Amino acid sequence: MKKFLVLGILFVLPLVAYLFFASGVHNFAKLPVLHANIEDVENFESLNSEKITFKNKITVLGFLGKDIYNKEGNAFNLNQKIYKKNHGFQDFQFVMVLPFGSEQAAAELLDELGNITDVSGWKFLFGTRENIEELFDSLNTPHQLDERLATHYVYIIDKDQSLRGRDGKLKENEPKVYGYDASSVADLANVMNDDIKVILAEYRLALKKYKADRSDSLDDYRDQKN
């Protein structure tokens, strides 16, 4: 029995270790900052007059355009592959930008998404063509908005209003990833899902460190008083 146990450990442990580390090198690195100083959205209006900001939020930003029905599939892909898995994170939000005049269509889409999951983290914002283009240009990506002010790509914005993605330096021949194609289930499941895990883990660790440092400071204060 001991012989089989030893052989099992010698065979299984290296395999488990390999699968663990091969499951995604991005799981063990900070998601790179590709561009800082992304424009905030104070010039946009929401469906319910809620004030939306990128500050102190982890945001998935999308541009659905004035013909929102053309991007409904993208929204459902995002909801299933990214949002449902992570919306329990307190500071996580989805912000979808559209031009004025799209409010009714956006409300209908939100209702449809609400039949599947809690949609409190979905935020729809409306603005002028100029405001939308200015926001998009501040991302400084190689992508373009189409004539309907839409794109298939969505973007990760961190709490400091910086664009996060992959800089192509972690693995050989890896391309830069500025955004994620929401029309591709494979891109969301295999790339974006991994990167969302990385940035959420980054902030969870930062929060744990903050709480630990705060606890140590309180302990020091109590010791000094005693």
Overall pTM surpassing 0.85 (yes/no): no
More confident residue, 90 or 28: 90
Question: How confident is the model at residue 63, as a pLDDT?
Answer: 98
For 179-220, the pLDDT digits (tens) are 999 999 999 999 999 999 999 999 888 767 656 655 555 455
Q: Nearest 5°: CA angle at 75, between 78 and 32?
A: 45
Could you tell me the pLDDT band of residue 170, with boundaries at 50, 70 and 90? confident
Q: What architecture is domain 26-216? A: 3-Layer(aba) Sandwich (3.40)
Q: Give domain limits for the chain.
A: 26-216
